[in-house]
Amino acid sequence: MKILVAALFLTFCGTLVYADDSLDLASNADTTAQLDSATVISNSLYPMSLERKEKLVSYSQFKNVWRFVDFFISLGILFLILFTGWSAKLRTYVEKIPNKFFALWAFAVLFFALEYLLSLPFQIYRRFLVEGEFGFINQTFFEWLSEDLLGLGLYMLIAIIPIFSLYRLIKKTSFWWLQFTLGAIPFMIIMMVIGPIFISPLFNDFNELENKELKSEIHNLAEKSGIEGSDIFQVNTSKQSSKINAYVTGMFNSKRIVLTDNLINNFTTNEIKFVMGHEMGHYVQNHIWKGLFAAIFVLAIALWLTGLTIQKFIDKYKHRLQFDSLSDWASLPLLLIYMSIIMFMFNPVMNSLSRYHEHQSDIYGMEITDVTGEEAATAFDKLSVYNLANPDPHPVIEFWFYSHPSIKKRMEFVRNYRR
């Protein structure tokens, strides 16, 4: 149930993003920032070399192509499971289990396992081999695979909740799409509360931020932003990847401010302050809640459109599919196909909202911190260099796929921003 579960996890973490163009630190940067910069640059990829620039171009071009390739591969695997009758065979196999809940759970587990095995060669290529070729992977293949299997196990464990609810509602009411969407709201909130505490630590170590001076700076920013009672952690994402990230996540008593070790080791104090000011902007301006309800709205429309049209497809191909109703569990891959296509078409809507939120947070980061426009621009530039992010994508690619404004636009904005 990849698309539905993905929607429920849509607002699970906030991220900053990429950046580009080699820039020097501003001449009026404070002494601390200059000392930090001297330490960082001596042992980093920044400023960007010509070889790194060529890698950035290659990686960006690959990602643009892979966005479409991955979409059609995913659809192809679902069509294969559907039209070979494997989905119907799995349903028939689990019908021997007397308890309907556990029978559906067994079906979901077998379906996820089959889908995973069919997609594994492509995932190994994209997420391990290609990422390794561009210098991002810091794991052996078996370390990478073990974490991937752990993620699959958690997916199998949690996804039964929305799946069982969905099929139960389909059998009971014609307004299943509306009731399921409303039921998704508390589920999403619960996941955002327990995720940072119970799920994320399964993959990484979350420790108290060691740099006391930096911790004090971040704590002051949090107090200034009104984010009280939040814990400040550093997380060892370098064990998986060399990419840089940071976020503020959680709700109620699970609030936490998270800096990755890659960010701490490669950014100056002022650059980190801007990054974290930006992330706090997401939290303070309720982008988590706004994103959640936007996801709920799009999910409702997607399910409604699916409900309007999917039965005609089932009636036309029921002999090949070996089921004649959406309420049949064997319809799961077909449901995912419909949802995948519809949600793909909604990409520009969700990404436009996300880009607006990112711009708001850029403004907040400039307002809440005392960093200069050049220091903020350098933070974006470094993100581009370390993450090999295209600073100036084609407008169509940015419109359809980018959840953040282009780095070039963001750098120009912070340079020219006046508080």
**Pair 255, 247: CB distance under 8 Å:** no
Q: Say what the pTM is.
A: 0.88
What pLDDT is stored for residue 86 in this prediction?
98
What pLDDT is stored for residue 392 in this prediction?
96
Q: What is the rounded distance in angstroms from the CA atom of residue 13 to the CA atom of residue 247?
A: 7
Longest dimension (CA), the chain: 74
Residue whose pair of structure tokens reads 């701490």 in the numeric block: 264
Q: Measuring CA to CA, how many Å separate 222 from each of 274, 279, 373?
A: 12, 10, 21
Q: Give, for all 419 residues of the chain, the pLDDT tens digit.
A: 443 344 333 333 333 232 333 223 233 333 333 334 334 444 468 999 999 999 999 999 999 999 999 999 999 999 999 999 999 999 999 999 999 999 999 999 999 999 999 999 999 999 999 999 999 999 999 999 999 999 999 999 999 999 999 999 999 999 999 999 999 999 999 998 888 889 999 999 999 999 999 999 999 999 999 887 788 999 999 999 999 999 988 777 778 899 999 999 999 999 999 999 999 999 999 998 999 999 999 999 999 999 999 999 999 999 999 999 999 999 999 999 999 999 999 999 999 999 999 999 999 999 999 999 999 999 999 999 999 999 999 999 999 999 999 999 999 999 999 98
What pLDDT is stored for residue 411 in this prediction?
98
Strands (E), 35-123: none
What pLDDT is stored for residue 44 in this prediction?
67
Burial call 354-371: b when 16+ CB within 10 Å, e when fewer: bbebbebbbbbbbebbeb
Burial class of residue 320 (count of CB atoms within 10 Å of its CB; 0-12, 13-18, 19+): exposed
